[in-house]
Chain A
């Protein structure tokens, strides 16, 4: 089991550019979560999917952020246009079942720097 795979590991982009972060959940997991981690705000839940369907996107900070899950093995988080305040580490996590009390498996994250 390769775990949750995120790409790229690091992304540096200029303000105003589009950024796409990618996530491959653990095979067989049917729930997927996107988090953002910053020193100021800690770990924030942005959006989560169950069976590829977005359930709650109330954590998405602005319309500049969008997420998709076209199939059970792939999800993207897109920021367009990016701003310096979007700089953070973005984590994807997956769980076997929605409401899994054994917690999630997190990926290693994508460190985004917007200059």
Chain B
């Protein structure tokens, strides 16, 4: 059973567009929601993360929107650039306060292509 469901599997946008990647989870014990970015031939790298006490977090052109009641969160990439072309993974984790240790369980990934 997947702990977190990610969609879409792939996404193609034009430069300047705003790709949106969505994730949904069931376990309300999760209290840490990171996004990772992976370029071909490289390992995933932490991009941005949010905790459930806020509904939105921005870092540069990347924004996470979080809907606690719906158990959904999404990544928005503003003014997307060809250099943003990569695979994006959402993840869920439980903090030590929740009995966990921030170890992420990953979604299946979204392959994003940004055309020039």
Which residues of A come within 8 Å of B, CB atoms?
4, 33, 42-43, 45, 48, 91, 93, 98-109
Contacts and interface: CB of A to CB of B under 8 A. Distances in A.
A42 B102 contact: no
B102 A106 contact: no
A102 B43 contact: no
Nearest to B109: A42
A42 B108 contact: yes
A106 B44 contact: yes
Contact of A42 (B32, B43, B49, B106): B106
B105 A99 contact: no
Contacts of A103: 34, 36, 46, 49, 102, 104
Given A42-B107, A42-B108, A43-B106, A101 B42 contact: no
Contact of B103 (A4, A45, A109): A45
Nearest to A89: B43
Contacts of B103: 33, 45, 48
Interface of A is mostly: loop
A43 B44 contact: yes
Nearest to A103: B46
A101 B106 contact: no
Contact of B43 (A48, A98, A107): A107
B95 interface: yes
A4 B102 contact: no
Given A99-B101, A101-B102, A4 B107 contact: no
B43 A100 contact: no
Contacts of B60: none
B88 interface: no
B108 A99 contact: no
Q: Select the residue from B32, B89, B102 with max chain A CB neighbours within 10 A.
A: B102
Contacts of A45: 103, 105
8 contacts: A4-B43, A43-B106, A45-B103, A103-B36, A104-B46, A105-B45, A106-B45, A109-B42
